[in-house]
Structure 1
Amino acid sequence: MSDQEFEQAKAEVKARAKEVHDAARIIAADGKTINKYWLEDVGDTTKNWEKCTIKFRAKDNGRNYMEWVDIKLDDGTLILSTHYHTNDGFDVYTFRNGAWVDRFINYSKVDVIAELERQKQEELQQRLKPFSAIDF
C-alpha cells in the first residue's frame, strides 16, 4: 500500500468514525440539541444500545467546546473512542468498523428522532387537553 493509499484509507475511516461520533451525540442527548442548558444539566451521560454502553461527555469553557465518546461492548471491548475539539478538530483513538456501524447510525437517525417526535406530540396533546372541552 502506497503512502497516498494509506492516507486515503485513514481519511475514510476517520470520516466513518465521525459519523458514529455524531450518532452517539444524538443518542446521548435523546435527539435534542446540545446547548448550554444541556451541558449544565447533563454534560456527561451513559446510554445503552444493543450490547454496547455509550459514554458521552461534553464540555464548554466559553472558548472551547469539546466532546468525548467511548463505546464499549458488554465484555469491555472498546469499539470506538473519539474526541472532538473546536480548536483541534476530530481525533479517532479506537474504531472497530463493522456491521454495527450502519445499525447504530440508523438507530440515531430513525428511532431516537422518532421517539423525540412522539414525545413532543404527546406533550402537545397534554397541553391542549384542557382546551378540548371549551367551545369557541
Structure 2
Amino acid sequence: MVDDSLPVRKSMEIHLGLLGMDIDFAETGEEALELVKTTVYDIIFLDVMLPGVDGYKVCKTIKSDKMSKNTPVVMLTGKGSRFDKLKGTMAGASVYLTKPVEPEKLAEVIKQFKLPETKSA
C-alpha cells in the first residue's frame, strides 16, 4: 500500500486486514520502488499523488521490472476523470479506484485477481 496520507493508510490497513491480507506500507514512490526490489507482491495499491515520484511513474517502473511486471497495480486517487483513468491505464495499472474506496469494492478487486491471503503493498 503506497500512500502519503496516514488516514488513508490506516483505513486500508483495517479493510485489507479484515480480508486477511498482510500489508507493507510506503509513504513515497521511492520507498515503494525499494520495497518491490526485494519483495514479490500479490497486489500493489498505489496512490497517484505522492511526494517526489508520482504514482504514474512508480507504476511504469513496477511494470517495466521483470520481477514485478506481472503484479496487479491498483491506482488509488481522488482524481476520477476519464483522463486520469486513461493515464493510469497507460502507466500499466490493472484497476483505477477513486478514494475513498468502499470496502466492498476492495473485496471485489481482490477477488478479481483471485489473490491468496498473503502480501499486498
Q: Could you tell me the TM-score, scaled by structure 2's length?
A: 0.31
Larger Rg belongs to: 1
Q: Which has the higher contact order (CA 8 A, sep 6+)?
A: 2
Whichever structure has more strand as a proportion of its residues is 1
